[in-house]
Amino acid sequence: MGSSRAILKDKILLILDQMPCHGYDLLHSLSEYDKNIRLTTLYRWLHEMESEGLVESSMEPGLTGPKRRVYSIGPRGEARLRGILKDAIEVVLHFYDAYRGTLTKNIQEHLSKRTFDSPIGRTLIIAIPRLKEQDMHIVQYLVERNNGGIIETMGDTSILRKYDIKHRSVKGEPQDMPISTGRYKEIWLTGIPDQKQLPRIIFECKRVLASEGILRIIAPFVFFNEPTEPTLSEFIRVTSVQLFPELGVIEGSKLSKLIQAHFKRYGVSEVFPGLVLFWAENT
């Protein structure tokens, strides 16, 4: 079965990103993906892609004969490949997050073995960007620790409808909470928010925390050590942090500095591999 036109056009961009090619070279390279593609079809696609700004072409002298048209990747083609890269990393992170979620099934047991303070008072869970199935283990832990008391939530917590969990929905956004100062004894962020909004969100959390209240941030995609080797995992890490911060990957040192700017007492705890908790106390 032949590959779709869109997929083959992306393959053309990948080939041209490595080096400029003329039509016959491109046809040969594409044959490993689709042996049925014809040269006339390829040239028609290249003409379309050039009109869209994805590729560029110029007439250059042949090795032994007349001039021939050579194609190279265009600015919009480079942008297209960057978008493909972002989508690919997002898919990898999606499945990694699902894998990490399987580790939280015994979250109650892991947390109970550690010296986590359990402040008495209101607890707020802020869903970032939304509560997912794997977050429910942590929610259930908080409910059980709260002796079945009602917890408060903010954000998209529609998944709670599937569970018999008492909760009170709080309207507002984490970067601008319409909540009185010092209301909560504990706040949980279920992920890393947009990094442009992160400083404001941490500020707001401190404002609505009571004295000795605790902020906890669940960080599924956080790194602490400096990149040292050009491995695939390091490439995904550096690319995500520098080019696609909206994917939620963050350097641990950066998040620590943001927390340090607002809290005197703070720290990091790796509950188990794949689940890191940042915490801070409102002293």
Kindly indicate the confidence band of residue 195, based on its pLDDT and cuts at 50, 70 and 90. confident
Q: What is the mean pLDDT of residues 97-119?
A: 66
Residue 209 has phi, psi (to 5 degrees) of -80, 140
Same domain flag for 136 and 269: yes
Query: Do 65 and 146 belong together in one domain?
Result: no
- Residue 9 in any domain: the answer is yes
**What local confidence, expressed as pLDDT, does residue 2 receive?**
46
Sheet hosting strand 55-60, strand order edge to edge: 21-22, 68-73, 55-60
Q: Is the pLDDT of residue 102 over 90?
A: no
Residues 57 and 168 in one domain: no
Q: How confident is the model at residue 15 (pLDDT cuts 50, 70, 90)?
A: very high
Q: Cβ-count burial of 66 within 10 angstroms (0-12 exposed, 13-18 middle, 19+ buried)?
A: exposed
Kindly state whether residues 165 and 272 are assigned to the same domain.
yes
> CATH number, domain at 62?
1.10.10.10
Show the 3-state SS of 84-114: HHHHHHHHHHHHHHHHHHHHHHHHHHHHHCC
Answer whether residue 88 is part of any domain. no
Q: CA angle 238-242-245, nearest 5°? A: 105
The mean pLDDT of the chain is 88
- Distance separating alpha carbons of residues 172 and 44, to the nearest angstrom: 52
Tokens 């109650």 sit on residue: 108
Let me know if residue 137 belongs to a domain. Answer: yes
Instruction: Please check whether residue 92 lies inside any domain of the structure.
Output: no
Task: Tell me the pLDDT tens digit for each residue of 122-166.
Answer: 999 999 988 988 888 888 888 888 876 788 999 999 999 888 888
One domain, residues 177 and 257: yes
Q: Do residues 15 and 53 share a domain?
A: yes
- Is there a domain that residue 89 lies in? no
Parent domain of 237: 101-281
Q: Is residue 201 part of a domain?
A: yes
Task: Provide the number of structural domains found in the chain.
Answer: 2
Identify which has the larger pLDDT, 212 or 222: 212
CATH of the domain at 168: 3.40.50.150
Residues 269 and 213 in one domain: yes
- Three-class secondary structure assignment of 172-232: CECCECCCCCCCEEEEEECCCCCCCCHHHHHHHHHHHEEEEEEEEEEECCEECCCCCCCCH
